[in-house]
């Protein structure tokens, strides 16, 4: 009988540490997500964390930017919170070597892809495309149309902010971020460089105007297309250039004996005198052997200039220069 009693007492003595080990206590000075769990058992810590953190962890989150508010619920982000794993994390931190108080983050999980999708939604909601500066080309003047900055957000920063907030039950869930300016490719200040040279041809007044850095630089007299051979109107550009170009006569009655022939550059029979600046469909700017025609409708569609004027203009106008032809 005495032997049985001793065995029973021995059994209880051995079993006691097992019961204690099943629900150990967290070390002093340990907190989880700012919640003090010092000296609590894992069960006690789990209950305390669940009670104090649950409401904050499940609260919806909103982001305000540029006067708009974007709400998202935690379940839409794949959010999950475990009080028991948070308590276990606190216990493990207390067991590990440390000095001073320890505050471990709560155990939360969420889908990063869903947080990124939320950031995309916010970004799209506030995005304003930038507007390039441009020029409004008129026959007699060039007007600037100012650029406008666009608006966006730093999506990476928002993802980080949302991720941090989700793990903190005490964090304010009303986020606020500042928009980011999006610069256009062409600013107002760069227009002069982008449109260094512009040519306009005023058919009604027989004037060719050369603009440099958006300001009128020089005006020349010209001849334009005769009735039936009207100089085309519209927005074009200088396509090609040549000095003393050869003339390929068109298959047209007005070409006379030179019809379909190539007339060498510099010859007296060649109507393209001195310089050529091609614009569109065989129409271009060139010198003329009939300076008296300047100021009239006399050509077969081209813009005629006196030889001294076309020689003067030629080096000032690079290929690609915008050309506006109008009345």
| Residue-range domains of the chain with CATH | 24-133+154-182 (no CATH), 196-326 (2.40.440.10)
Could you say which of 20, 147, 286, 300 is catalytic? 286
Q: What is the pLDDT of residue 111?
A: 97
- φ, ψ of residue 270 to 5 degrees: the values are -80, 120
Confidence of residue 57 (pLDDT cuts 50, 70, 90): confident
197 DSSP β-pair partners: 212
Average of per-residue pLDDT values in the chain:
90
Q: What is the pLDDT of residue 260?
A: 74
Confidence of residue 2 (pLDDT cuts 50, 70, 90): very low
Q: What is the pLDDT of residues 99-126, one digit of tens each?
A: 679 999 999 999 999 999 999 999 999 9
Q: What is the pLDDT of residue 21?
A: 52
- Told to judge if 286 belongs to the known catalytic residues of this protein, a careful annotator would answer yes
Could you say which of 98, 147, 300, 302 is catalytic? 302
Q: Which of 185, 193, 199 is nearest to 133 (CA)?
A: 185
Predicted structure pTM score: 0.67
- Told to judge if 302 belongs to the known catalytic residues of this protein, a careful annotator would answer yes
Q: What is the pLDDT of residues 239-250, one digit of tens each?
A: 999 999 998 777
Higher pLDDT pick, 258 / 280: 280
Q: What is the pLDDT of residues 158-208, one digit of tens each?
A: 999 999 999 888 889 999 999 999 999 999 999 988 899 999 999 999 999
The CA R_g of the chain, rounded to the nearest whole Å, is: 41
**Average of per-residue pLDDT across 30-55:** 93
Question: Vertex 124, ends 119 and 128: CA angle to 5°?
Answer: 130
């Amino acid at each position: 009988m005495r032997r049985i009693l001793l065995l029973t007492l021995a059994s209880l003595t051995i079993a006691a540490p097992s019961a204690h080990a099943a629900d150990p206590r967290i070390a002093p000075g340990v907190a989880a997500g700012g919640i003090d769990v010092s000296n609590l058992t894992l069960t006690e810590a789990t209950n305390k964390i669940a009670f104090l953190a649950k409401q904050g962890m499940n609260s919806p989150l909103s982001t305000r930017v540029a006067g708009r508010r974007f709400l998202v619920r935690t379940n839409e982000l794949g959010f999950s919170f475990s009080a028991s794993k948070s308590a276990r994390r606190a216990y493990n931190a207390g067991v590990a070597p440390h000095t001073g108080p320890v505050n471990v983050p709560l155990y939360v999980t969420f889908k990063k892809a869903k947080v990124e999708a939320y950031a995309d939604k916010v970004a799209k909601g506030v995005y304003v495309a930038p507007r390039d500066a441009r020029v409004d080309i008129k026959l007699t003047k060039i007007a600037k149309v100012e650029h406008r900055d666009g608006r966006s957000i730093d999506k990476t920063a928002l993802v980080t902010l949302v991720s941090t907030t989700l793990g903190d039950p005490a964090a304010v869930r009303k986020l606020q971020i500042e928009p980011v300016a999006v610069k256009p490719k062409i600013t107002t200040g760069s227009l002069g460089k982008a449109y260094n040279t512009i040519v306009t041809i005023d058919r009604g007044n027989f004037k060719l105007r050369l603009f440099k850095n958006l300001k009128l630089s020089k005006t020349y007299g010209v001849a334009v297309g005769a009735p039936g051979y009207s100089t085309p109107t519209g927005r074009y550009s200088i396509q090609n250039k040549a000095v003393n170009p050869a003339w390929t006569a068109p298959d047209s009655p007005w070409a006379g004996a030179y019809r379909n022939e190539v007339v060498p550059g510099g010859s007296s029979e060649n109507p393209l005198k001195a310089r050529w600046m091609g614009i569109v469909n065989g129409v271009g700017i060139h010198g003329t052997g009939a300076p008296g025609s300047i100021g009239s409708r006399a050509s077969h569609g081209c813009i005629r200039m006196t030889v001294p004027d076309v020689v003067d203009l030629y080096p000032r106008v690079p290929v690609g220069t915008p050309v506006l032809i109008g009345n």
